[in-house]
Amino acid sequence: MLVVMNRHATAEQVEAVVLKIRSLGLTAHPIPGAQRVAIGITGNKGGLEPDLFTTLPGVAEAIRVSQPFKLVSREVKEEDTVIEVRGATLGGRGGLAVVAGPCSVESEEQLLDTAHAVKRAGARFLRGGAYKPRTSPYEFQGLAEEALKLLARAREETGLSIVTEVMDVETLPMVADYADVLQVGARNMQNFSLLKQLGTMRRPVLLKRGPSATIKEWLMAAEYLVSRGNYEVALCERGIRTFETMTRNTLDLNAVPVLKALSHLPVLVDPSHGIGLRAHVAAMARAGVAAGADGIMVEVHPHPEAALSDGAQSLTVPEFEELMLQVRSIAAAVGRTV
């Protein structure tokens, strides 16, 4: 249930609603909003009687939330969530978020060259994996803390915000020491202990879609974060597993408008993992922006043929520069900027 306060409700009236919710053994979630205060209620097993709250002073209405995901839904919060990261934004009607960089951090030269190049081309976020979830245990697993230090160095030199994956609860404190945005990878979308821990933090999370997750399961995973108080969650569509084998995954662009309608969270598209083929990454990045995504995440490598992971889907620097020109015109066509 969502309790919506009058526009002129006092802080004491809001507090009285929160206390009432707690007295029923339920959890109150005051929702940050520009116009009015609203308080989400979770923890109830069945439906609640609106009268419990509408009789309290300052309450405008009490609305039943029909979706199983509550706090991430547009029913509960109409305005877009806008996440500010060191001057750059994820979500909202402003500029698109462009996250670019190598799949894995491999060396100082590789990372810094890429960082300077993507910054020049207009990216505001630098991606790069320090801990890599590889299908084979014999493949490159990432440089761990050494990579995190290089990412911090790249941030210092370029001012880009750092997006990097956290794979488990054990390494979370260390990754959080360096990252501006904590990426939860597709394979970990339903790692509930990781999600619970991230929910207690006040640090933006980029939650990628599980390869076989439905949109509802994905939003429920986001609910784990938000219900524990971390409202700074962005979603990233990165392709799902289908019967198709000609491409690495099937980028589900349906998810973009559907998520934008169902949820207030920012939605990014990752065409690199979505299609897995360098020659077609740009087309799907453009399509993602045209579909209404709030940003894109693109793998870029100065020498993709020598990359230690995902070289086949990594754009060269000139290819990324060209993509950015195209993205600027598509963005303008859908009323956005880069």
What is the longest distance spanned by two Cα atoms in the chain?
Answer: 67
Nearer Cβ to ligand PEP (40/128): 128
Q: How many alpha carbons fall within 13 Å on the CB side of residue 121?
A: 29
Interacting residues with ligand PEP between 102 and 121 (CB under 6 A): 103
Residue 124 to residue 118: CA distance in whole angstroms = 8
Q: Closest distance between ligand PEP and the C-beta of residue 257, in Å? A: 20
Strand positions, DSSP E, 140-259: 161-165, 181-184, 205-208, 233-237
Closest by Cα among 71, 73, 51, 47 to 61 = 51
Could you say which of ligand PEP, Mn ion, none residue 133 binds, taking C-beta under 5 to 8 angstroms by partner kind? ligand PEP
Q: Binding mask 233-272 vs ligand PEP (x if CB under 6 A, - otherwise)? A: -----x----------------------------------
Distance CA 253, CA 283 (A): 12
| Cα(250)–Cα(239) distance, integer angstroms | 5
Q: Which is nearer to ligand PEP, 77 or 208 (CB)?
A: 208
Out of ligand PEP, Mn ion, none, what residue 102 binds, judged by CB under 5 to 8 A for its kind, is none
Work out the number of other CB atoms within 10 angstroms of the CB of residue 42: 16
Q: DSSP state, 241?
A: -
In the complex, the smallest distance separating the C-beta of residue 31 from Mn ion, rounded to whole angstroms, is 34
Q: How many residues does the chain have?
A: 338
Choices 79-87, 153-161, 179-187, 280-288; region in contact with ligand PEP by CB under 6 A: 179-187
Contact status, residue 205 vs residue 184, Cβ threshold 8 Å: yes
Identify which of residues 106 and 310 has a Cβ nearer to Mn ion in the complex.
310
Kindly give, in sequence order, each residue whose CB lies less than 8 Å from that of residue 283, ignoring residues fewer than 6 positions away.
271
Whether residue 278 contacts residue 301, with contact meaning beta carbons closer than 8 Å, is answered with no
The residue behind tokens 């707690």 is 22
Query: What residue 186 binds from Mn ion, ligand PEP, none (CB within 5 to 8 A, per partner kind)?
Result: ligand PEP
Which is nearer to ligand PEP, 184 or 317 (by Cβ)?
A: 184
Kindly state whether residue 273 participates in binding ligand PEP, applying the rule CB under 6 A. Answer: yes
Q: Rule CB under 6 A: is residue 186 a binding residue for ligand PEP? A: yes
Token reading at 314: 């990594």
**Of the candidates 122, 133, 159, 311, which one interacts with ligand PEP according to CB under 6 A?**
133
Contact partner, 266, from Mn ion, ligand PEP, none, Cβ < 5-8 Å per class: none
Smallest distance from ligand PEP to CB 187, Å: 6
Q: How far is CA 87 from the centre of its chain?
A: 17
Task: Rank residues 238 and 278 by Cβ distance to ligand PEP and give the closer one.
Answer: 238
Q: How many residues touch ligand PEP (CB under 6 A)?
A: 9
Closest separation between CB of residue 181 and ligand PEP, Å? 12
Among residues 73 and 164, whose Cβ is nearest to ligand PEP? 164
Q: How many CB atoms lie within 10 A of CB 200?
A: 10
β 2-5/38-42 pair status: antiparallel
Out of 29, 124, 208, 336, name the contact with ligand PEP by CB under 6 A. 208
Which position among 40, 58, 101, 129 is part of the footprint of ligand PEP (CB under 6 A)? 129
Written as six digits, the tokens of 24 are 């029923």
**Among all residues, whose Cβ is closest to Mn ion?**
103
**Within 10 A of 25 (CB to CB), how many other CB atoms are there?**
8
- Positions touching ligand PEP (CB under 6 A) are 103, 129, 133, 185-187, 208, 238, 273
